[in-house]
Every structure is written in structure tokens, then in C-alpha cells.
Amino acid sequence: MTTTKPVAGVSYNSEPFLLGVLADLVKAGKVSQWYLVHHDPDTDSKKPHWHLLLFPTSAVNPFALATLFDEVDPTNEKPLRFLPTPETQGRCLSVPDWLFYAVHDPDYLASKGLSRSVHYSRDAVRACDPDELSQRWASIPPVRLGRQALTARAVGMVREGKGWTDILLALGAEIARDPVLLGFLREVCECAHQNAEAASALLRELTPPEKPASSTGRNSLFPDVPDDVLRAVGLLDDFGIPDDLV
């Protein structure tokens, strides 16, 4: 299998070895650009690692390319390696996807139903050509959250005891595009802060434990709230009203 598209993957190489291989690839004209970021252990990995994106100058076999990164490890009989990421994992289908994941952008992660405990600045991403990387960042529009992610974030803020004003300041530009979602989130927020018992009843109505939300999105309290919003609320584990409201 060969490809001319950027090759993404995870590297467990030492930094000097990794940078040396990258320099050799650029010098040999096999790669025109590379992006690199170091990640500490997190919820998805127990080992420190590098995320690497290579821009080949011609068609390459990603797994053949990866063999160039095999590094002798004196503490282990297996070499330290670069492992190409299969596209089926869905993380690096585009360069913007790779960059947003590289820094663990909270909005991007939320839009994919992911979360990470460690986040990185854009300066943490290194490149063979830093100017090209800066131009790339400048050309990428901000992540636009979907209904599920917006609902999850807003209800999460309610759990933290945040008020409607806080939610508007954080998410107003996004939720203002969706009047139904705007009204729904305001009702949840105001209900939680005025009457904890009523708020609990509201959430039970939206996510009944015995059966999933109806296919039409109909419920007695919010008949116009679509299914994806109801599912977003249902995705929150052990939703509870903040302690100071009970």
C-alpha cells in the first residue's frame, strides 16, 4: 500500500534519534515537511510518546517508511519504533484533525466524543519549516462544536455550579445559532439553580433509565428537542445537581 498523503503515527523513539532520522529524510528529498509533538502519559497511553506527521514528496509505503525509525533499545530486545496510524482509527484523516489532536484541543476532542487530562499549547508542535506550520495554523478555522458536544459541555458546567451567564460567555457564539438548543440549555440551567428537585426530575424525564429517547425526539417537557441533544445528556455519567444546590 502506497500513499502520497501525509503519514501520521506514534513514535516511541528517543528525541536525538528521531530528529536525526527526520533530518536525513528531508536531506534525501523523501519528506518535504514534518510536524512533531511530545505527549506525556494520559488517559489513552501510559507511556510518553511522540505524535508525528510526515509529508512525503512521492508515493510511499507507510510501513516501509516506518522501518527507518527502528532504534536499538539497550534495555529491551525489541527496537523503539514509529507506528503508522491506520486511517480507520479516524484521528488523522486531515492535517487540521492531526493538529487539533496534537494539542488536545478541548473543543476538538469534545466534537469527537473524546477527552484528555493533559493539554498542550500550539507552540508545543515542532516542524521542519516553522513558518509553514504558522501559516497552516492561521488558515484553519476554529472547531465548530456539534449539538452533542455543546450540550455535554453546558450540562457539565451546570454540574460545576456555573450559571447561565457563565455558559453564555463560554458557548454563546455556538449555541446562539440553534434557538431550540439555546432554550433547552437555559431551561436546564435555570431549573438547576432554582430548584434542585425539579432539575433532577427534568433530567430523568429527558433520559428515562428504562428506555432510550424516542426516535422522534418527543418528550413532554421539550417536544422540539432533537434526539442528538437528548443523547448528549444521556452520555453524561452519573449526572447530579451540584452539592451546593441540593
Of 117, 139, 161, the last residue of a domain is 139
Of 92, 122, 139, the last residue of a domain is 139
What pLDDT digit, counting tens, does each position of 121-175 carry? 999 999 999 999 999 999 998 777 777 777 777 777 777 777 777 777 777 777 7
In a domain, 171, yes or no: yes
Percent of the chain with pLDDT over 70: 71
| Domain shared by 127 and 48, yes or no | yes
Check residue 72 and give its pLDDT: 95
pLDDT: is 245 or 209 the higher one? Answer: 209
| Domain shared by 226 and 174, yes or no | yes
| Domain shared by 116 and 24, yes or no | yes
| Domain shared by 128 and 229, yes or no | no
Amino acid (1-letter code) at residue 104: H
| Domain shared by 233 and 164, yes or no | yes
Of 139, 174, 203, the last residue of a domain is 139
Q: State yes or no: pLDDT of 183 exceeds 80.
A: no
| Domain shared by 29 and 73, yes or no | yes
What pLDDT digit, counting tens, does each position of 4-57 carry? 889 999 999 999 999 999 999 999 999 999 999 999 998 878 899 999 999 999
| Domain shared by 102 and 24, yes or no | yes
Beta-bridge mates of residue 42: 45
| Domain shared by 109 and 15, yes or no | yes
- Report the candidate in 81, 98, 95 with the shortest Cα–Cα distance to residue 10: 81
| Domain shared by 123 and 197, yes or no | no
Q: State yes or no: pLDDT of 209 exceeds 70.
A: no
Domain extent for 191: 147-245
Helix and strand tally (H, E) in the chain? 10, 5
Check residue 169 and give its pLDDT: 76
- Report the candidate in 246, 201, 242, 206 with the shortest Cα–Cα distance to residue 222: 206
In a domain, 2, yes or no: no
Beta-bridge mates of residue 102: none
Q: State yes or no: pLDDT of 226 exceeds 60.
A: no
| Domain shared by 99 and 175, yes or no | no
> Which DSSP helix (H) or strand (E) runs through 126?
strand 126-127
In a domain, 169, yes or no: yes
Question: Starting at the edge strand that comes first in sequence, how are the strands of the sheet with 7-11 ordered?
Answer: 82-84, 7-11, 49-56, 31-39, 126-127
pLDDT band at 235 (very low <50, low <70, confident <90, very high): very low
- Report the candidate in 131, 180, 186 with the shortest Cα–Cα distance to residue 158: 186
In a domain, 22, yes or no: yes
- Could you give the count of Cα atoms lying within 13 Å of 112 in the half-sphere of its Cβ? 18
| Domain shared by 183 and 229, yes or no | yes
Cα-based distances in Å from 75 to 71, 72, 78, 79, 80: 12, 9, 9, 9, 10
Amino acid (1-letter code) at residue 94: S
Domain count, the chain: 2
In a domain, 1, yes or no: no
Contacts of 108 (CB under 8 A, 6+ apart): 97, 100, 101, 143
Cα 128 vs. chain centroid, distance in angstroms? 25
8 Å CB contact between 105 and 91: no
Check residue 163 and give its pLDDT: 74
Check residue 155 and give its pLDDT: 72
Q: State yes or no: pLDDT of 236 exceeds 60.
A: no
- Report the candidate in 53, 60, 71 with the shortest Cα–Cα distance to residue 128: 53
Cα 92 vs. chain centroid, distance in angstroms? 11
| Domain shared by 194 and 216, yes or no | yes
In a domain, 61, yes or no: yes
